[in-house]
Structure 1
Amino acid sequence: MGLDVREMRLDETPLVIDYFHSSTPEHLEMLGVDPTRLPPREAWATIFNTLYGVEIEQRRGFFLIWLMDGDPIGFSSCDKIVFGAQANMHLHVTKPAERKRGIGTQCVRLSVEIYFQKLKIKQLFCEPNAFNVGPNRTLQRAGFKYVKTHMTVPGPLNFHQAVNRWLFEPPV
């Protein structure tokens, strides 16, 4: 199995749009995503065009693609980026057949390396829905430390929910 994690190209961003727009309402609820907050496909493509037109130090978001044997199996993204300081990570295995196999943990570990290198951060946070077992286990296995559980609206696509805050800081 050839696993590769790299920066997502603009022409690959439809993977993100299709993933959310093609997910079932039940899957979106497990993610903590409110389907009424999904931008229309065309508007989302415009958002990506704008995002990719800005230097990395100024970006509000940064995306990685996860590939197995050259085929996309998922992606990770960062938002709430304070370049040189911290960011918040999100993770998604887009192929249901690849979930619960440990691939997410490997991809998260590789993603963390890229985020620290490209964004020059000192801390990386992740706040999955507290009741979504998969990403919480993945983060723990990937070396993140549990910080707390709290109620919040984690991002513009989300509804108010309980999330677990996880933190990754590289060893000193």
Structure 2
Amino acid sequence: MLGVDPSRLPPASQWQRLYEQMFDQPVEQRSSLLVSWLYEDRFLGFSTADKIRIRQQANMHLHITDASQRKQGIGAECVRQTVELYFQALKLKQLFCEPNAFNVAPNRTLQRAGFKYVKTHMTVPGPLNFHQAVNRWMIERG
């Protein structure tokens, strides 16, 4: 929950309706894209892409929800594969990720997955977050 404002979390039913409506749209028209991560047929976590500008750029978020699977290098592989999926599905040139600057795990994961550090700055990274320090990471394709 580091960086998430619990008061901004919508009820589960509202989230479900949002994603059901989104999944009915072609990928190119969606405001976000959701990727579930499985490890040995178990749900491990997920990634979302938002702030999508088709053929240009998007922002990704990453979450390993199964704490027992953290610190094993699985996250970096999930991120690598998800990056490829986002670049392919959204035809991107750049992909950004802005984890909380004080949350070491996702910052290390992004570096291991090939992202390059851009800067640290204060922002509200998404609709569920509060104003915070984040590290901006980027990965590009020719």
TM-score between the two structures when normalised by the length of structure 1? 0.81
Residue 84 of structure 2: aligned partner: 113
- SS of 2:122 mapped into structure 1: strand
Residue 54 of structure 1 and its aligned partner are, at CA, apart by 1.1
Residue 76 of structure 1 and its aligned partner are, at CA, apart by 0.8
Which of residues 30, 38, 54 in structure 2 aligns to 1:67?
38
Residue 78 of structure 1: aligned partner: 49
Residue 95 of structure 1 and its aligned partner are, at CA, apart by 0.4
Distance in 1 separating the partners of 2:103 and 2:12: 26
Root mean square deviation of aligned Cα:
0.7
Distance in 1 separating the partners of 2:58 and 2:120: 18
In the alignment, structure 1 residue 158 sits paired with structure 2 residue 129 = yes
Residue 50 of structure 1 and its aligned partner are, at CA, apart by 1.3
In the alignment, structure 1 residue 51 sits paired with structure 2 residue 40 = no
In the alignment, structure 1 residue 139 sits paired with structure 2 residue 110 = yes
Gaps of 5+ in 1: 1-27
Gaps of 5+ in 2: none
Residue 34 of structure 1: aligned partner: 5
Distance in 2 separating the partners of 1:90 and 1:144: 13
Residue 71 of structure 1 and its aligned partner are, at CA, apart by 1.2
In the alignment, structure 1 residue 130 sits paired with structure 2 residue 101 = yes
More helix by share: 1
Residue 12 of structure 1: aligned partner: none
Runs of 4+ that moved beyond 6 A: none
Residue 72 of structure 1 and its aligned partner are, at CA, apart by 1.0
- SS of 2:22 mapped into structure 1: helix
What is the one-letter code of the residue matched to 2:4? Answer: V
Residue 71 of structure 2: aligned partner: 100
Distance in 1 separating the partners of 2:21 and 2:9: 17
Residue 124 of structure 1 and its aligned partner are, at CA, apart by 0.3
Identity %: 62
